Amino acid sequence: MTEQITSPTPSPSSEASHITTEPQTEDMSIWRKLGRSNGLALAQTILYASAAAAPPSLLKTLSASPHLPAVGYRMFFTGVFGLSAYAMGPAGDVRNGTGIATAWSIGYIMLHLKKTLKRPAHPVALAMLGGSTLCAAAYGTEYFGYQD
């Protein structure tokens, strides 16, 4: 004779029945939607690529500031943000895409914060720093705060 072991099923009124691990798009805040989309990473890719492709004479006319990250940095971060946008978009790997964007955004901030904020500040350098800060905040919140 075999015994059948059954586990009790939770009642619909139990606390655990309403907890879900999948994000509900209609209930997500705008901040969470921003953290799960690749839009910020694409915007950063375009910003860094246009700053890398712009002729130096044009960039010098925008500001008298001596600090603008070197072309190598701008090209490198174009690739990094492009990779994270690809990971979050066509590849469908939001977890790794947000991790890449968060880590490299924080790296950019650590490398360029002090030089960028010296007066007179270059508007392109300020835009790159602001975009990196926004990416670090949005994607970092998604990566560290909303782990699925």
Q: What pLDDT score does 18 carry? A: 44
124's CB contacts (< 8 A; 6+ apart) are 51, 54, 59, 62, 63, 68
The answer to whether 70 touches 103, Cβ cutoff 8 Å, is no
Confidence band for 29, pLDDT divided at 50, 70 and 90: confident
**What span, in angstroms and rounded, lies between the C-alpha atoms of 125 and 123?**
5
DSSP 26: T
**What span, in angstroms and rounded, lies between the C-alpha atoms of 62 and 45?**
21
Q: What pLDDT score does 33 carry? A: 87
Q: What pLDDT score does 61 carry? A: 77
Q: What pLDDT score does 20 carry? A: 42
Q: What pLDDT score does 3 carry? A: 59
pLDDT digits (tens, 9 = 90+) for 73-116: 999 999 999 999 999 999 999 999 999 999 999 999 999 999 99
Compare 21 and 26 and report the one with higher pLDDT. Answer: 26
Compare 106 and 2 and report the one with higher pLDDT. Answer: 106
DSSP 145: I
Confidence band for 17, pLDDT divided at 50, 70 and 90: very low
What number of CA atoms fall less than 13 Å from residue 106's CA on the CB side? 11
Q: Is 142 exposed, middle or buried (0-12, 13-18, 19+ CB in 10 A)?
A: buried
**Mean pLDDT of the chain, nearest integer:** 83
Instruction: Give me 148's structure tokens.
Output: 């699925």
Average pLDDT of the residues in 21-43: 78
For helices 39-53 and 71-88, the axis angle rounded to 10 degrees is: 160
**What span, in angstroms and rounded, lies between the C-alpha atoms of 139 and 34?**
8
Q: Which residue has the tokens 């990971």?
A: 87
Range in 45-54, 55-64, 96-105 the model is least confident about: 55-64
Where along the chain do its domains lie?
30-145
Does pTM surpass 0.85? no
